[in-house]
Amino acid sequence: MNLKGRNFLTLKDYTSEEIMYLLDLAAELKLKKKRGIPLETLKGKNVALIFEKTSTRTRCAFEVAAHDLGMGTTYLDPASSQIGKKESIADTAKVLGRMFDGIEYRGFGQEIVEELAENAGVPVWNGLTNEYHPTQILADLLTIKEHFGSLKGKKLVYMGDARYNMGNSLMIGCAKMGMHFVACAPKEYFQDSELVGMCEEYAEESGGSIVLTESITAATKDADVIYTDVWVSMGEPDEVWEKRINDLTPFKVTSSIMQLAKPEAIFMHCLPSFHDLKTQIGKEMGERFGITEMEVTDEVFNSEASVVFDEAENRMHTIKAVMAATLGAV
């Protein structure tokens, strides 16, 4: 398997064998890290990390992974670079491509990260766009594989706004890996039909399946994984909160929903999560709408079934695998 020079923009561009290769590589790198075996296989190289939206996990994962591999990192936030305001994406890509060996981009439209990749001449990695969040999916797949021993045939139910980056990318990842993906939400929150059609083709090839349903009982029956994400994503306007809370509250992950799934089912969330009132936005929404949590109850979030912090840790190991493989360190 040789992924040197490849971009990592969406899992649509990767075969199931390539995804499995990255997961196995991540597991190997994780083991090495736990055993204290130094890597530094990319010593002397440098990566640029562009963040047009905020981040805790993705930024830290890229920085720690790059440093573990021996690389230098430069973090560019929206306020401290010329990107978009004084310099086009294409020109920025050409400049950064002359100095760096790889570029991470987190921001808005997928077309931006695609344009960066077309012009950079070095691998570009998608650290989240409105449409996709592929590095998160690698971490999720690794977590599921670690937990159950395999991916094929596992049923993952995504509850909530399935139209955005997480719903889209989980559907692609599951379809490619022979898993059964279910989106459970009101109809208007289902993924775009063109992407669903594409994923149905992947699923046919891999032995997986795609179901979009409004029925919580049908969705959760025999589920191995119950997954949710915030109801309002970064960059969305404040006005959408009220309708989202009204529409998606029935799809909040509660203990009774978990009980409908298999007894050994796990709860997953990409984080950050509104499971209590201990955040600024959580508190504000609590006051505005008289609620104490949103997409998941505190009880489920902190339950034995919850593997959310394993996912968070696995962001680093999987991102390390993506950089190592595309920069040719393996």
Contacting positions for ligand CP (CB under 6 A): 55-58, 128, 136, 270-271
SS3 state of residue 271:
coil
Partner touching 241 among ligand CP, ligand NVA, none, CB below 5 to 8 Å by kind: none
- Sheet of 180-184: strands edge to edge? 209-213, 180-184, 155-159, 225-228, 266-269
Partner touching 56 among ligand NVA, ligand CP, none, CB below 5 to 8 Å by kind: ligand CP
Q: How many CB atoms within 10 Å of residue 67?
A: 12
Q: Which is nearer to ligand CP, 202 or 227 (CB)?
A: 227
Partner touching 233 among ligand NVA, ligand CP, none, CB below 5 to 8 Å by kind: ligand NVA
Amino acid identity for residue 191 in this structure? Q
Question: Under rule CB under 6 A, how many of the chain's residues touch ligand NVA?
Answer: 9
Q: Does 233 bind ligand NVA (CB under 6 A)?
A: yes
C-beta of 153: minimal distance to ligand CP in Å?
Answer: 26
- Which parts of 266-285 interact with ligand NVA (CB under 6 A)? 270
Partner touching 95 among ligand NVA, ligand CP, none, CB below 5 to 8 Å by kind: none
C-beta of 290: minimal distance to ligand CP in Å?
Answer: 27
Partner touching 150 among ligand CP, ligand NVA, none, CB below 5 to 8 Å by kind: none
User: For residue 210, what are the CA distances in angstroms to 86, 118, 214?
Assistant: 43, 31, 14
Are the CB atoms for 223 and 156 separated by under 8 Å? yes
Residue nearest to ligand NVA (CB): 233
Out of 96, 166, 172, 219, which residue is the one contacting ligand NVA (CB under 6 A)?
166
d(CA 144, CA 303): 17
Beta-bridged to residue 269, according to DSSP, are 228
Segment interacting with ligand NVA (CB under 6 A) among 186-194, 216-224, 227-235, 309-317: 227-235
Q: Does 92 bind ligand NVA (CB under 6 A)?
A: no
Q: For residue 44, what is the DSSP state?
A: T
Annotated catalytic residues are 106, 133, 136, 229, 270, 315
Residue-by-residue DSSP string for 102-163? EEEEESS-HHHHHHHHHHHSS-EEES--SS--HHHHHHHHHHHHHHHS--TT-EEEEES-TT
SS3 state of residue 282:
helix
Segment interacting with ligand NVA (CB under 6 A) among 118-126, 172-180, 228-236, 300-308: 228-236
Beta-bridged to residue 74, according to DSSP, are 48
SS3 state of residue 26:
helix
Out of 164, 202, 251, 274, which residue is the one contacting ligand NVA (CB under 6 A)?
164
Q: Does 229 bind ligand NVA (CB under 6 A)?
A: yes
What are the residues binding ligand NVA (CB under 6 A)? 128, 164-166, 229-230, 233-234, 270
